[in-house]
Amino acid sequence: MPALSAPTIRRRNGEISAALQASALPHLLKQIYANRGIGHPDELVLALDRLLPPHALRGINDAAELLADAIEGEGRVLIVGDFDADGATSCAMAVSVLRQMGLLEVGYLVPNRFEFGYGLTPEIVELAAAQAPDLIVTVDNGISSVEGVAAARQLGISVLITDHHLPGSVLPEADVIVNPNQPGCTFASKSLAGVGVMFYVLSALRATLRQRNWFAERGIEPPNLGDALDLVALGTVADVVPLDRNNRILVAAGLARIRSGRARPGIEALFEVAGRDHRAATASDLGFIVGPRLNAAGRLDDMSIGIECLLAESTVSARERAQTLHQLNRERRDIEQSMQQDALLQLESLDLANEALPFAMTLYDPTWHQGVIGILASRIREHTHRPTVVFAQAGDGWLKGSGRSIPGIHLRDMLDLVATRHPGLLSKFGGHAMAAGLTLPEERLDEFQGALNNAIATTLNHQPPQRIQDSDGALRAEELTLTVAEQVNGAGPWGQQFSEPLFDGDFAVKQHRIVGEKHLKLSLEIDDHEVEAIAFNIDVALWLEKPLQRLGALYRLGINDYRGERSPQLVIDSFWAI
């Protein structure tokens, strides 16, 4: 959408190191990398042999021994996952690789978010106990499941927790915990997604089974864990964890598999139903195309649909499940659009350009869908540039909230502060810096709104957060070429905290038209050079009422591949009148 005025643009200007300057990289890429803290070309080498070694992960050797004992002893293992893409990929990888390693009885259980909520709760343990597991392995959850782990141990069920979320003040008394964010863990990358943690655990398990001669004695071919990297890439990007070097290595390797046609049928089918060519897959495709379709199952129905899609061994069965996920995603979009309209009506009484806005936005409507409130929180956060928590009914007088934050505000820490200052206000909470979830009594919603607002206001010294847009600078007309676009697009993978390059510039509008009912296709001119551009999901009525002859824009330098003809295209993030 066009902004009322130009945003505050902060141009990145990282110092290019001597080592980077001496490299053969194009100057633009040198500057882009310097802007992201890269000081040496070696940091750009994303070969798998540069991955951090597993042994620094606290508990990983004990986890490998526990799983190896279960395999050798023909134990029954149950994977308990989460209902998002990270949980689904973690679960599918654990089940498929453990089967390849010779585990005879391995199943999975994913809590229905509408009935049981998040994590290994006592209720989930009761449900799991019906399958009589010897060992429960959590993936992408469990670090806050103190009561659930206690319930499992009381039933004589061993528990291995693999998670990446931030722990609370009390850790569950599991047999083993593997989490890079647990106290005492020296693993250098604290940004592993849940699927990344499980990938490391399976790597250690394979090494342990080799030491025990398990594979050789039984004539089992040790699994190639490279085959699981498509899942690792998908879960990592979809969970929006920071792409530090270790995660970029994992994502780059997974993308290479997908592009080369070596992805599992389920992932290729998800690209297919979205009308995308997996051979040109990018990290952005995983985050905005494949991930949402997988997440739609957990948001509206049952994530087992997504897991079965990822576990499908034939193209036919994968396509059938992918089509179901595609339809669920359409339903999710319709629900989201309706909820967003309701939310914007609630915001109409607020002056969004006024610094008198609350420091935290808290919205609730009894009709809102519990599975979509996280997406709505993201949309309102973008609209207001405020940390936002959106609530939905959870039944029996309880509300469930999903929050999204802005840079500089650690949302889980804010919830921890609220819980400390207001004992009993939050039934449970957890999450990350940028995203968190919570449960509270409906009658205490107003109390929570005030408490969160005060906590964030104090953190910001009562100075309203400013909407600042980072830019890698202005591109010259002669740089708006296919060659430069290919260099920039191939220089990733881009993602959270290693953001895709964003540029700014002023342009004359030569032609414009609406495509797909809500997207704006433009022909722009700069220094007598014309370039195509597109802005998605604009306010069509506002544009048609007063189209701009000149505009300023923040944009990505993309590639338009129309009927096999490739050309540079500016993908506009935001624009304004000049």
**DSSP string for 256-292:** HHHHTT-S-HHHHHHHHHTT--GGG--HHHIIIIIHH
Decide if 344 is inside a domain. Answer: no
Spatial separation of the C-alpha atoms in residues 511 and 534, rounded to whole Å = 12
Is residue 370 located within the same domain as residue 461? yes
Dihedral, CA atoms, 504, 509, 513, 517, nearest 10 degrees? 30
CA–CA gap between residue 171 and residue 453 (Å, rounded): 29
- What is the rounded distance in angstroms from the CA atom of residue 363 to the CA atom of residue 373? 10
Residue 388 and residue 550: Cα distance in Å, rounded?
A: 33
Does residue 114 lie within any of the structural domains? Answer: yes
Helix (H, G, I), strand (E, B) or coil at 191: coil
pTM over 0.95: no
Boundary (domain end) residue, out of 415, 437, 466: 466
3-state helix, strand, coil in the chain (%, to 5): 45, 20, 35
Q: How far apart are CA 51 and CA 248, in angstroms?
A: 10
- Does residue 532 fall inside a structural domain? yes
Q: What is the pLDDT of residue 351?
A: 58
Are 210 and 184 in contact by the 8 Å Cβ rule? The answer is no
The answer on 253 and 106 residing in a single domain is: yes
> Please, are residues 225 and 97 in contact by the beta-carbon 8 Å criterion?
yes
Shared-domain flag, residues 240 and 371: no
pLDDT of residue 428: 87
pLDDT of residue 432: 82
Pair 88, 30 in one domain: no
**Residue 516 is assigned to a structural domain of this protein:** yes
Helices (H), 274-361: 283-285, 291-300, 304-311, 315-347
Number of Cα atoms under 13 Å in the Cβ half of residue 132: 2
Burial, 149: exposed, middle or buried (Cβ in 10 Å; 0-12, 13-18, 19+)? buried
Nearest to 266 by CA among 139, 85, 107: 85
Q: Tell me the torsion sign for CA atoms 55, 60, 62, 65.
A: negative
Collapsing DSSP to helix, strand or coil, 104 comes out as coil
310 and 281, same structural domain?
A: yes
- Say yes or no: 548 and 423 in one domain: no
Q: Are residues 302 and 172 in the same domain?
A: yes
Give buried/exposed letters for 246-276 (b at 16+ CB in 10 A, else e). bbbbbbbbbbbbbeeeebbbbbbbbbbbbee
Q: Are residues 270 and 357 in the same domain?
A: no
CATH number at residue 537: 2.40.50.460
Q: What is the spatial distance between Cα 2 and Cα 574, in angstroms, rounded to a whole number? A: 6
Domain count, the chain: 3
CATH of the domain at 122: 3.90.1640.30
Residues 538 and 457 in one domain: no
Q: What is the mean pLDDT of each run of 10 residues along the chain (578 residues)?
A: 66 97 97 97 97 96 98 97 94 98 96 75 94 97 95 98 93 98 97 98 98 97 97 96 97 98 98 95 96 93 94 97 97 95 86 71 96 94 93 95 94 95 92 90 96 96 90 97 96 94 97 94 96 94 93 96 89 94
Q: Residue 310: inside a domain, yes or no?
A: yes
Dihedral angle sign, alpha carbons of residues 305, 310, 311, 313: positive
Residue that is last in its domain, among 421, 438, 466: 466
Residues 177 and 320 in one domain: yes
Same domain? 360 vs 302: no
- Domain harbouring 453, CATH code: 3.10.310.30
Q: Which of the listed residues 466, 496, 528 is the one where a domain comes to its end?
A: 466
Strands (E), 124-266: 135-139, 158-162, 176-178
Question: Is 41 inside any structural domain?
Answer: no
Question: Could you list the residue range(s) of the whole structural domain that residue 520 is in?
Answer: 2-35+472-577
- 337 domain-assigned: no
**For residue 81, is it within any domain?**
yes
Q: Is 251 in the same domain as 294? A: yes
DSSP state, residue 6: -
What distance lies between CA 563 and its chain's CA centroid? 31
